Structure 1
């Protein structure tokens, strides 16, 4: 009965100043809502990044050709040679025992034509395994087969977007696209389903937009296009010689991916900064370590800069660490908001204590103890925190709905602005971190208690006689 009466008196005191109470609640409301919103946005970004990395396959190793910068190729008078060789593909496939299969890929920028419609895109030479590895699904027709490559057939499979641009009404299967650069026709045997673009991963694998791809057997591409590609820009032109743009190695188990990556680096003479740092740290102490460094460097020879190694399993681990750091950073920002809200509560309650000095003296004169006074003021601060916490949770749960609604409005009324934003801003789907709900609410109540104790104790320590004299 006593606690119920104290709670009733506390709420009644708060309702005497509704605007002041509302503004105090607002600080806690913003803090709790920001905790949930920021963690939801951070989780959405993290899941998208991990989805992109998982799309590469945790049991895959990707070896990618990198075009040297212009200053490094200024001395070449003819085509610039760089990147992966077919001999290196066979070497990796046949000599590393943990490699289950190897996938060669060759990419060339081309213009595709059908009855006067021209679309710029990417001509991809690949094997039949490519579609499974890259998670490309068939919409109609069929995919490329090993027999198509062995017979060097001029068959192709179109991506969804490119098929829609070249054939807005007709069914593409059975038709043929024309390549003006090589004057070749390719019969369309299949069309893929829509595939979301992939974001750039690390500093080596660039973002890929699968919407403008045409896939042909890699043997056909070698026969029709060759290794040297000439690009014309107005009156000038540039030429480059690349045998393979990418080699995707499928490892027999995820546990062997890291060890296999070390073998691939040594085989292709690629830089491994982590292992070099470890060896270098050992070499600082006298003994065999110094000889190990020199032996390693002499065995590897010059380090290649035109090839990069991407290990999705390592990237996933990095993504998990980055996620934890990002969530911690977001939570810290939100905690500062709650701290500001708590300071607002303490400020208001100190002012309330001054205003209610005479009331406190009367209650003490009628027999109320110091504990009773402390409890009354704590009830008021906790009530403010609970109301702010509950409303903040409700606002936090609206995060996905609000962000998607704002994004749709932006697409409707400001499409140019949305087109300039990065992909993550256009496709972000906030994911509510359900653990953040009790966490934010618990923190809000704790803030009410911590920042309400001092005003409550100050009120309880007032001298009853002096309080009664207060005007």
Structure 2
């Protein structure tokens, strides 16, 4: 019991001496801790950027849907001649004849893809354009999209209120619609929108459903981005083809045809193919490409994109970038540790006589080693604590001033903090051993 009490008293005395030594030399302590402060701050901010990038990729994958293949029509450039006739631009007339004569994407092709390829689960179809949307005296700009029933399934769209169009709404081109969450808030901030009529372009539609807030896909190419669903109006595809003819999609073949005004020809802007499993994406995209190449006579008037593969590649690139940033930040921690070692070595030389006095009064070599290790640990923990606050603040500032998302996790904070303590112990050990090895008589004579 007496031995244990003496050990506790010895440890307490050593801790008090170490703490007093750190407090007395405030400027030296702060300058020594600077390397740790910057190192911990850099590690936390870099990990926050990495976590934010990972979350952003996952959110984008959720927005674009799982296991989807996006087929988009390439728009040819058309202009109005001034007499009500639509003409192809001179640039398009100079293109290859097979491109000019392509009928573009249509419903029949979408149905063929679903019928021919067994790995297809759903096939969504969309045709859209920007439109002014009115209710009473309120007018907002948004997107008007004609879609089929599978469109809501491939993008996993949910409803806050109301219902989706039923099959007869599609077959009889009913004037009903489902609107986005933000559009409802702008047009009907305090009242229910269900059953109300809104005007899109020149046509009126009755609201039967309000979509759950979705968010907007960002950082994606035009061939992948879904657009702002929250500010969109969705109507049955047949209603769109009947009432909203888009002249920008009319091809030269249609101009030469007597019946080119048929709304079901070349009026599909996007086909979304959803497969059952992720490993079927690449093969399904290749088969769909061959089907469209044959139907379009080899014309390259569409693009096929597999967003999940693109996002996974983007995530892989970001992970490599984050590893590089983390390595650079870790180097600053090592530099901070070297700084602690250098200052502690200088401190050992300066305090040689103090060490000799302690040894002559009964302190053991272990006590001296423990004292200097405690001093190094206090300095590194002090730097780690301040570095945590700086790192969290830096991550917050980066997130606010830039478009880079940042997420600070408790794991990264705790790891950085305890690593800083480890750096103090590792780099403080050599100065501590040097202090303990000195001869007591020589130390007492040191001036």
TM over 0.5: yes
Within 5 Å, give how 1:65-464 maps onto structure 2: 65-67=73-75, 74-76=90-92, 84-168=105-189, 170-180=191-201, 183-201=202-220, 204-206=223-225, 208-229=227-248, 243-269=267-293, 304=300, 306-312=302-308, 314-315=309-310, 317-363=312-358, 373-389=368-384, 392=387, 403=396, 422=403, 428=405, 430-432=407-409, 434=411, 436-460=412-436, 462=438, 464=440
**Partner in structure 2 of residue 17 of structure 1:** 25
| Alpha-carbon distance between aligned partners in 2 of 1:326 and 1:116, rounded to the nearest angstrom | 51
- 1:82–1:454 CA distance, 2 compared to 1 (3 A): farther
Distance apart, 1:429 and its partner CA: 6.2
- 1:452–1:137 CA distance, 2 compared to 1 (3 A): same
| Alpha-carbon distance between aligned partners in 2 of 1:170 and 1:13, rounded to the nearest angstrom | 69
Q: Does the aligned pair in 2 maintain the 1:251–1:257 contact within 8 Å?
A: yes
| Alpha-carbon distance between aligned partners in 1 of 2:289 and 2:410, rounded to the nearest angstrom | 39
Distance apart, 1:121 and its partner CA: 1.6
| Alpha-carbon distance between aligned partners in 1 of 2:361 and 2:191, rounded to the nearest angstrom | 91
- 1:447–1:242 CA distance, 2 compared to 1 (3 A): farther
Distance apart, 1:106 and its partner CA: 0.7
- 1:388–1:148 CA distance, 2 compared to 1 (3 A): same
Q: Does the aligned pair in 1 maintain the 2:32–2:379 contact within 8 Å?
A: yes
TM-score (norm 2): 0.77
- 1:302–1:372 CA distance, 2 compared to 1 (3 A): farther
Distance apart, 1:248 and its partner CA: 1.2
- Does 2:444 align with 1:468? yes
Q: Relative to structure 2, which stretch is displaced further, 208-217 or 156-165?
A: 156-165
- SS for the counterpart of 1:75 is helix
Q: Does the aligned pair in 2 maintain the 1:127–1:146 contact within 8 Å?
A: no
CA-based RMSD: 3.8
Distance apart, 1:207 and its partner CA: 5.7
Q: Does the aligned pair in 1 maintain the 2:198–2:207 contact within 8 Å?
A: yes
Per-residue deviation, residues 76-103 of structure 1 (Å, max 9, x unmatched): 3699878533343222111111112211
**Partner in structure 1 of residue 254 of structure 2:** none
Of 37, 49, 54, the residue aligned with 1:46 is: 54
| Alpha-carbon distance between aligned partners in 2 of 1:260 and 1:331, rounded to the nearest angstrom | 38
Distance apart, 1:346 and its partner CA: 2.4
| Alpha-carbon distance between aligned partners in 1 of 2:167 and 2:219, rounded to the nearest angstrom | 30
- 1:339–1:18 CA distance, 2 compared to 1 (3 A): same
| Alpha-carbon distance between aligned partners in 2 of 1:77 and 1:5, rounded to the nearest angstrom | 92
- SS for the counterpart of 2:304 is strand
Unaligned runs of 5+ in 2: 1-6, 79-87, 251-264
**Partner in structure 2 of residue 32 of structure 1:** 40
| Alpha-carbon distance between aligned partners in 2 of 1:55 and 1:257, rounded to the nearest angstrom | 17
Distance apart, 1:335 and its partner CA: 1.3
| Alpha-carbon distance between aligned partners in 2 of 1:118 and 1:463, rounded to the nearest angstrom | 89
- SS for the counterpart of 1:453 is helix
| Alpha-carbon distance between aligned partners in 2 of 1:449 and 1:305, rounded to the nearest angstrom | 65
Distance apart, 1:43 and its partner CA: 0.7
| Alpha-carbon distance between aligned partners in 1 of 2:310 and 2:60, rounded to the nearest angstrom | 10
Per-residue deviation, residues 443-463 of structure 1 (Å, max 9, x unmatched): 213321332234334444555
Q: Does the aligned pair in 1 maintain the 2:63–2:214 contact within 8 Å?
A: no
Distance apart, 1:122 and its partner CA: 1.1
Distance apart, 1:132 and its partner CA: 3.4
Per-residue deviation, residues 419-463 of structure 1 (Å, max 9, x unmatched): xx64xx5xx4625152x3453234213321332234334444555
**How many pairs are equivalent?**
410
Distance apart, 1:53 and its partner CA: 0.8
